[in-house]
Amino acid sequence: MAKSKNHTAHNQSHKAHRNGIKKPKRHRNISTKGMDPKFLRNQRYARKHNKKSGESAGEEDARFTNSRLGMISFCVLSRMETLPMLSDWQLDHIFGSGPELVK
């Protein structure tokens, strides 16, 4: 009697790609369980004393995030560098137009 086939990878790649090969999700905070306690204690102190001074910390944030106008103008300015030369009506269509954009 002939020996039977033990293994084949036929169709496995196709099946894997039907739902897409996805990267594993990266978590924002990795677990510190089982880490060196001395290292973790040092990290706590480092995070606690690493804050910026009050005046310089919120300067740029306050300029843009306190008002919708600031956020819109920031978006417009940041995208203008990458956009090719467009006409006024095209820019109005992309970024919107209206009294909220006029300073």
Euclidean distance between CA atoms 43 and 31, whole angstroms: 14
Give pLDDT, residue 1.
76
DSSP of 37-49, one letter per residue? HHHHHHHHHHHHT
Give pLDDT, residue 49.
86
DSSP of 3-33, one letter per residue? PPP----TTHHHHHHHS---PPPPPSS---T
From the first residue on, what is the mean pLDDT of each consecutive set of 10 residues in the chain (103 residues)?
91 96 91 95 91 62 59 66 64 64 51
Q: Which amino acid is at 69?
A: L
Question: The pTM is what?
Answer: 0.33
